[in-house]
Amino acid sequence: MMPPLPNHKHNKKNTTRLPLPDGTDGDYHCPACQRRWFSEDTVKWAVCKYFTLAGCTPYPANQMKREGDIRVTHALNREEWIIEAKGQIPAGNEHAAFKEGMGQIVMARNLRSPHLLYALAMPKVHPFPQETAQIDASDLHYLRLHWIWVIRRQAADSTVFEVQIVCPPGSTCECQKRLGTFSFG
Ligand SMILES: [Zn+2]
Ligand SMILES: [Zn+2]
């Protein structure tokens, strides 16, 4: 392995993509210094897997209709999710990505229905927990905005993902309790 170059800068061209369990592109990875970035694609994959295990039907949303990145429906009830996903980016600005995600949620709120649940899905790594801590509880309540955290644990010979759903303050939806907790790889 080459030693890390002093001051080498990362971008989408000098990084490669690590495959997800389904073979699609997951994290960004720098072959020179082995650094990796928990990408939006990894977050989307884990969120879809979670909702499938919970008995829901996730599918890619219509971006033109401002429906977020992922829509989730349930065969047996009228619950529907509009989920915007964000992740780490080589040489990227996660603060700007988070702000953009919040903006996309506000736009998606043009779709008004009491059955709609909104969420911003992110990897539970820096700087996302710090970003969410800056948002007022009253805004979360008004936007009916959930945080969906994707957590990756490295076991001896495998990688396991978990998803944590945080309901907005003052809500009674108890999403994690209803949908369940699953570990998957
Ligand atoms: Zn590097
Ligand atoms: Zn909830």
Section 47-57 average pLDDT: 96
9 CA to middle of ligand 1, Å?
7
Query: Would you state the pLDDT for residue 98?
Result: 95
- Ligand nearest the Cα of residue 8 is 1
166 CA to middle of ligand 2, Å?
7
Write down the pTM of the prediction.
Answer: 0.91
Question: What span, in angstroms and rounded, lies between the C-alpha atoms of 108 and 106?
Answer: 5
Question: What span, in angstroms and rounded, lies between the C-alpha atoms of 114 and 131?
Answer: 27
11 CA to middle of ligand 2, Å?
36
Q: How confident is the model at residue 85 (pLDDT cuts 50, 70, 90)?
A: very high
Query: Would you state the pLDDT for residue 32?
Result: 92
Mapping DSSP to helix (H, G, I), strand (E, B) and coil, where does residue 12 land? coil
Q: Maximum CA pair distance of the chain?
A: 56
Question: Was domain 39-184 assigned CATH 2.40.50?
Answer: no
Query: Would you state the pLDDT for residue 31?
Result: 93
Domain boundaries, the chain: 39-184
DSSP 20: P
CB contact at 8 A, 71 and 58? yes
Query: Would you state the pLDDT for residue 38?
Result: 96
**How is residue 127 written in tokens?**
């700087």
Torsion angle in degrees (nearest 10) through CA of 169, 173, 174, 178? -160
pLDDT of 87 above 70:
yes
